[in-house]
Amino acid sequence: MPTVLLPRAILAASLLLGNGATWAESRCSEITSSQPATLSCSYKTLAIDSGSAGKRKVVYQVPLGKAPAGGWPVALLYHGALVTVYNFSYHSDMPFGGYYQGKLIQGLLDGGYAVVAPNALTAKEAWQTNAPEYASDYQQSNDYLFLNNLFGAIASGKFGPLNRKRQYATGISSGGYNSSRMAVSFPGKFKALAIQSASYATCVGGDCAVPALPADHPPTLFIHGQLDWIVPWTSMQPYHERLLYQGLETSLHSEPDGGHAWFASSPGLVLDWFNRHP
């Protein structure tokens, strides 16, 4: 009887499903039969110049298949403080709902979005958007230089066929503040923002005074836990209300029992928001 060689994709599927995993045409695989559950998405890396600070590692991936005309829409994913992005691997007992960040990456890739996850200057530092020395002088920050280089690399095709006219940003905590920064310092570059457990670009913790916002501020979704004591819900509220006051598009999802974390609902909410703003 002849030996039958299964295509690697089918073989991988049978092995994964035999281990209680989910599998489909996806960059990601999830194993839930043992605890902690694990989720891993394939990834690539690229080093982007950050001036005197050297180069920063950027972790990224594009969806399976052929890119649409104009390239893949791209979601910039900004991490929280004290975190370095090495890969796209997550487990269910990670702090701050980290597993759901993995589910977000999975949802974005499966939904046809490239995901680009840059790193802040060092693992011990947050994004510089609300650092006292840069909050009102952001163009002097290393982040400003780095992010301009990153956007240039996206536009020139270094991450593959990405659509620079369909850029989105999301992030948690420090990364959420940095997502807001996209509206303030990079006008016209982003179609929509999704801010998790954070507020306006220059705010910190419980204090948040929000100035008049630019008329081209991207549509912004807020996802926030009402039991968040690190970035209180009440510090996000002035930002949301300022957008409403100025007639700018915004939406708010409050998690009644949620703390300072990604939620199970976050991936679907972010993907839906981005899809609604092509």
Domain at 230, CATH number: 3.40.50.1820
Is there a domain that residue 257 lies in?
yes
pLDDT of residue 154: 98
* Spatial separation of the C-alpha atoms in residues 107 and 266, rounded to whole Å: 10
Structural domain containing residue 143: 39-275
pLDDT of 124 > 80? The answer is no
Mean pLDDT of the chain: 92
Does residue 4 fall inside a structural domain? no
In a domain, 238, yes or no: yes
Q: For the segment 50-92, what is each residue's pLDDT rounded down to a tens digit?
A: 999 999 999 999 999 999 999 999 999 999 998 889 999 999 9
The residue that leads in pLDDT, 261 or 25, is 261
23, pLDDT greater than 90 = no
What is the arithmetic mean of pLDDT over 157-165? 98
State residue 207's pLDDT score: 84
The model's confidence at residue 1, banded by pLDDT at 50, 70 and 90, is very low
Average pLDDT over every residue of 23-36 = 87
pLDDT, residue 150, reads 99
Q: Would you say residue 3 has pLDDT above 90? A: no
What's the pLDDT score for residue 123?
60
Residue 105 has pLDDT above 70, yes or no: yes
| Mean pLDDT calculated for residue range 118-130 | 88
Note whether residue 129 is domain-resident: yes
Q: Which of 1, 34, 2, 29 is nearest to 13 (CA)?
A: 29
Q: The sheet that has 162-172: what strands, in order across it? A: 44-49, 55-61, 114-118, 72-78, 162-172, 192-196, 220-225, 250-255
214 domain residue, yes or no? yes
Quote the crossing angle between the two packed helices 98-110 and 266-275, to the nearest 10°: 30
Is there a domain that residue 236 lies in? yes
CA distances from 203 to 10, 108, 131, 157 (A): 49, 28, 9, 34
Q: How far apart (Å, rounded) are the C-alpha atoms in residues 223 and 236?
A: 9
The pTM for the full model equals 0.90
Instruction: Classify residue 20: in a domain, yes or no.
Output: no
How many domains does the chain divide into?
Answer: 1
pLDDT of residue 205: 87
The pLDDT value given to residue 96:
96
Cα–Cα nearest to 20, from 37, 1, 42, 41: 37
Peptide bond into 36 cis (omega under 30): yes
Q: What is the pLDDT of residue 6?
A: 30
pLDDT per residue as tens digits for the range 180-225 = 999 999 999 999 999 999 999 999 989 899 999 999 999 999 999 9
The Cα-based distances of 10 to 1, 16, 25, 211 in angstroms read 21, 10, 10, 55
> Does any domain span residue 167?
yes
Q: State yes or no: pLDDT of 111 exceeds 70.
A: yes
Q: Is 133's pLDDT higher than 70?
A: yes
- A 10 A CB-CB count for 249 gives 14
